[in-house]
């Protein structure tokens, strides 16, 4: 029998606030364990939470950017469960009245566009982190109370590739909004996947497994692929799928059962009595909407229109906000947008990848890239020389002008000098000259090559071409 995978994702995103959701403790990553805690986030008796307004605004921004409806009335609830990293023995979350409802993320897989619906986005506090040592376990409460939004998708995804694209699009939106740093290594973006199978054509959902511990987009893709195969095999043997939570083991690439999945009633949700409901006016929501920054799609369209970039180039450059920012900074120093785009997408990205660096760590500044392009545009160096100069700029952090001056590199643009070489090459290559005059126009490129060789690649290729044609047509 043929089965169809049905996948939904739950993404937890730490919001970029200076302090926690209900207290003034710092959210900075990397402090000593339990250095950023207070009676509120440690859940001491008698303390009262105070809502962080910035977190609320960031959640609304995320919702609006994803096309959600921001609720005029929402409230917090207690989700009760006992776990050592949860000092209050409940998490303040949102149950039946979340801050955002609906919404969508557009994805594209193998040229096909598809809309993935969102169920909801809710605001909640993060839990602490258990740390396992040899024979002991410690708990770090620094993370306890950091604001999170949980973005829940409808089960609209049908393949591991779609799940991967969905996460990529989601991350791009969050980065453009600057609501989170989206750093998966530091845990500011975490994903759980719900996976089930059903016979093709069936409308009813199969029993699902929830997979946790997915710490990179590639692991999400791999874990879902594994889980689909595991369930397929069980079903083909006539066995039942158990509703459970499974953990992904990234080192050995398999999922294993962690616990049977809780249902909502296991958490005994009830309204948080220490916090007032969140009430917005339509005007307040509108004021957040008008303050939203330009998102990737709009920026892509602008790049195509203002800088005459192709759709593909504009897409690559705007897929990451910091890449698009870098591009626009280059434009402050050079107006040659096409050349900037070519250098960035070709040589710069290749070198950064080789060194495993992001654009933010680029040893070349936008000013330096633009400087290299200017030298080319002024005919001072040839394209071939520019490639070498680029590599040296990347390695040393020096400007193109510095390197060109120090090496005495410069393009030969003196027409009388080039003319001398052209005449010599014509004298030395009668067969090619004859070919050219007999109508074999491609003989020209051989002769151009000979002139370039004789000048160690320094001659201005455009002038070489013109002077050669002039001589040959005589
Ligand atoms: Zn605190």
Residue-wise pLDDT tens digits, 112-124: 999 999 999 999 9
CA of 216 from ligand 1 middle (Å) equals: 29
CA of 127 from ligand 1 middle (Å) equals: 12
pLDDT over 90 at 281, yes or no? yes
Name the least confident of 97-101, 179-183, 311-315, 454-458: 454-458
**Which residues is 189 bridged to in the sheet?**
13
Region 157-183: mean pLDDT is 95
Average pLDDT, the chain: 92
Name the least confident of 6-15, 46-55, 204-213: 204-213
**Confidence at residue 414, expressed as pLDDT on a 0 to 100 scale:** 75
Which positions ≥6 away from 171 have C-beta within 8 Å?
182, 189
**Confidence at residue 456, expressed as pLDDT on a 0 to 100 scale:** 74
Region 168-194: mean pLDDT is 93
Domains defined along the chain, listed by start = 3-287 (no CATH), 296-407 (no CATH), 415-472 (1.10.10.410)
User: In which band, very low, low, confident or very high, does the pLDDT at 410 lie, cut at 50, 70 and 90?
Assistant: low
CA of 145 from ligand 1 middle (Å) equals: 7
CA of 183 from ligand 1 middle (Å) equals: 22
Structure tokens at 316: 């690559």
pLDDT over 70 at 279, yes or no? yes
CA of 75 from ligand 1 middle (Å) equals: 21
CA of 220 from ligand 1 middle (Å) equals: 32
Measured distance CA(149)–CA(72) in Å, rounded: 17
CA of 408 from ligand 1 middle (Å) equals: 62
CA of 25 from ligand 1 middle (Å) equals: 4
Neighbours of 405 (CB within 10 A): 11
Task: Output the furthest CA–CA distance in the chain (Å, rounded).
Answer: 99
CA of 21 from ligand 1 middle (Å) equals: 9
Segment 380-393, tens digit of pLDDT: 888 888 999 999 99
**Confidence at residue 142, expressed as pLDDT on a 0 to 100 scale:** 97
CA of 268 from ligand 1 middle (Å) equals: 25
**Confidence at residue 176, expressed as pLDDT on a 0 to 100 scale:** 95
**Confidence at residue 405, expressed as pLDDT on a 0 to 100 scale:** 81
Half-sphere exposure of 423 (CA within 13 A, CB side): 6
Segment 185-219, tens digit of pLDDT: 888 999 999 999 999 999 999 999 999 978 899 99
Do residues 7 and 163 make contact, with C-beta atoms less than 8 angstroms apart?
A: yes
pLDDT over 80 at 334, yes or no? yes
Half-sphere exposure of 124 (CA within 13 A, CB side): 22
**Confidence at residue 474, expressed as pLDDT on a 0 to 100 scale:** 79
pLDDT over 70 at 261, yes or no? no
CA of 26 from ligand 1 middle (Å) equals: 8
CA of 38 from ligand 1 middle (Å) equals: 4
- Using CA atoms, how far residue 86 sits from 17, 43, 274, in Å, is 21, 9, 18
**Confidence at residue 454, expressed as pLDDT on a 0 to 100 scale:** 84
| Residues 209-240: b if buried by 16+ CB within 10 A, e if exposed | bbbbbbeebebbbbbbbbbbebbeeebeeeee
CA of 22 from ligand 1 middle (Å) equals: 7
CA of 64 from ligand 1 middle (Å) equals: 29
CA of 86 from ligand 1 middle (Å) equals: 13
pLDDT over 70 at 374, yes or no? yes
Share of the chain above pLDDT 70, in %: 99
Region 73-95: mean pLDDT is 96
Region 425-436: mean pLDDT is 90
pLDDT over 70 at 409, yes or no? no
């Amino acid at each position: 029998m043929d089965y169809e995978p049905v996948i939904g994702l739950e993404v937890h995103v730490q919001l970029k606030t200076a302090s926690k959701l209900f207290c003034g403790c710092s959210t900075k990553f990397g402090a000593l364990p339990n250095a950023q805690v207070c009676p509120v986030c440690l859940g001491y008796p008698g303390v009262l939470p105070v809502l962080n307004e910035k977190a609320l605004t960031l959640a609304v921004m995320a919702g609006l950017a994803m096309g959600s409806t921001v609720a005029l009335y929402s409230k917090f609830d207690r989700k009760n469960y006992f776990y050592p990293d949860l000092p209050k023995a409940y998490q303040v979350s949102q149950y039946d009245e979340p801050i955002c409802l609906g919404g969508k993320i557009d994805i594209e897989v193998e040229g096909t566009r598809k809309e993935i619906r969102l169920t909801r986005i809710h605001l909640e506090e993060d839990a602490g982190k258990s740390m396992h040592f040899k024979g002991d376990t410690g708990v770090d409460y620094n993370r306890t109370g950091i604001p999170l939004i949980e973005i829940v998708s409808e089960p609209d995804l049908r393949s591991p590739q779609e799940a991967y694209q969905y996460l990529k699009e989601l991350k791009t939106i969050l980065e453009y909004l600057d609501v989170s740093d989206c750093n998966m290594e530091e845990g500011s973006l975490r994903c759980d996947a719900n996976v089930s199978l059903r016979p093709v054509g069936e409308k009813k959902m199969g029993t699902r497994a929830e997979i946790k511990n997915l710490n990179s987009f590639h692991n999400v893709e791999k874990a879902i692929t594994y889980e689909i195969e595991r369930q397929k095999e069980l079903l083909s043997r006539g066995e039942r799928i158990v509703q459970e939570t499974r953990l992904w083991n990234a080192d050995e690439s398999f999922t294993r059962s962690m616990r049977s999945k809780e249902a909502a009633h296991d958490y005994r949700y009830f309204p948080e009595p220490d916090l007032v409901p969140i009430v917005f006016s339509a005007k307040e929501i509108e004021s957040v909407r008008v303050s939203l920054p330009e998102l990737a799609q709009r920026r892509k369209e602008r790049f195509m229109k203002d800088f005459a970039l192709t759709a593909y180039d504009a897409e690559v450059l705007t897929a990451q906000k910091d890449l698009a920012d870098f591009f626009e900074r280059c434009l402050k120093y050079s107006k040659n947008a096409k050349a900037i785009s070519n250098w960035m997408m070709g040589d710069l990205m290749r070198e950064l990848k080789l060194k495993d660096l992001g654009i933010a760590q680029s040893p070349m500044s936008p000013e330096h890239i633009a400087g290299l392009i200017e030298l080319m545009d002024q005919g001072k160096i040839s394209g071939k020389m520019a490639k070498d100069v680029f590599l040296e700029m990347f390695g040393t952090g020096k400007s193109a002008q510095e390197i060109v001056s120090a090496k005495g590199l410069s393009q030969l643009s003196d027409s009388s000098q080039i003319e001398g070489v052209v005449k010599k090459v014509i004298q030395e290559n009668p067969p090619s000259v004859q070919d050219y005059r007999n109508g074999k126009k491609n003989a020209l490129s051989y002769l151009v090559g000979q002139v370039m060789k004789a000048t160690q690649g320094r001659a201005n290729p455009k002038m070489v071409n013109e002077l050669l044609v002039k001589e040959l047509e005589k």
